[in-house]
């Protein structure tokens, strides 16, 4: 189980497998599976910067046996963890299939106008009237329009930030791909960007 945890948990990758085996001995002796430990770590969360992986793991597991003291509780935790992973995968799946039929003709016209402005070199989508939190319906964009938007974003990543503001994260990821949006957000946070071949 220790080797599997070191393989699956990013902040444990530098840790010694025998040391991790010693840290998890109580939950292992109690019959916990690797998935149950992963589910508990998901519930507890972890710090962004980990200096001593084994120490953090010991701290996170300190109350595990009391909190998940029955097999039913552990099973529920694993289901919650799997559901969250499934939802995360679905959020990051790049859009590949055909566009869905538009749910709002007026909104579709606004998105088309935005694409026209980008193709015209203005690179300033005009969807300012979309209410806060509303996802834009980009169903009317053709594949070529999406490719044009991606090409424009590869030249000026601020376009992605504007789309995040006016169209929402889900729509922006569908148009520009999750990988490219993640790169742009990383740039905004660090001031350094390494693009993976642009927004294709």
- State residue 119's pLDDT score: 54
pLDDT of 69-105, one tens digit each?
Answer: 898 999 888 888 888 777 666 655 544 445 454 556 6
Cβ neighbourhood burial of 20 (10 Å; 0-12, 13-18, 19+): buried
φ and ψ at residue 74, rounded to 5 degrees: -65, -40
Give the C-alpha separation, 64 to 89, whole Å: 27
* Residue 10: both structure tokens together: 């990013």
Whether the pLDDT of residue 23 is over 50: the answer is yes
Start-to-end CA span in the chain (Å): 39
pTM for the predicted model, two decimal places = 0.45
| Predicted confidence (pLDDT) per residue in 101-140, tens digit | 455 666 666 666 666 665 555 443 433 333 434 444 566 6
**64 closest CA partner among 44, 46, 85, 78:** 44
Do 65 and 107 contact (CB within 8 A), yes or no?
no
């Amino acid at each position: 189980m220790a080797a599997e945890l070191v393989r699956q948990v990013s902040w444990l990758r530098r840790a010694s497998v025998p040391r991790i085996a010693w840290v998890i001995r109580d939950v292992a002796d109690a019959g916990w599976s690797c998935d149950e430990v992963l589910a508990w770590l998901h519930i507890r969360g972890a710090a962004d910067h980990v200096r001593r992986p084994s120490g953090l793991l010991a701290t996170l597991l300190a109350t595990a046996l009391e909190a998940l003291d029955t097999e039913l509780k552990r099973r529920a935790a694993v289901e919650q963890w799997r559901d969250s992973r499934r939802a995360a995968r679905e959020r990051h799946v790049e859009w590949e299939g055909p566009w869905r039929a538009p749910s709002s003709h007026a909104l579709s016209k606004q998105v088309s106008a935005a694409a026209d402005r980008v193709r015209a070199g203005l690179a300033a989508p005009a969807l300012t009237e979309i209410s806060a939190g509303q996802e834009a319906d980009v169903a009317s964009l053709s594949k070529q329009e999406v490719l044009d938007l991606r090409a424009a974003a590869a030249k000026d990543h601020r376009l992605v930030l504007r789309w995040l503001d006016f169209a929402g994260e889900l729509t922006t990821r569908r148009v520009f791909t999750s990988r490219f949006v993640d790169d742009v957000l990383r740039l905004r946070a660090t001031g350094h960007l390494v693009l993976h071949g642009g927004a294709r």
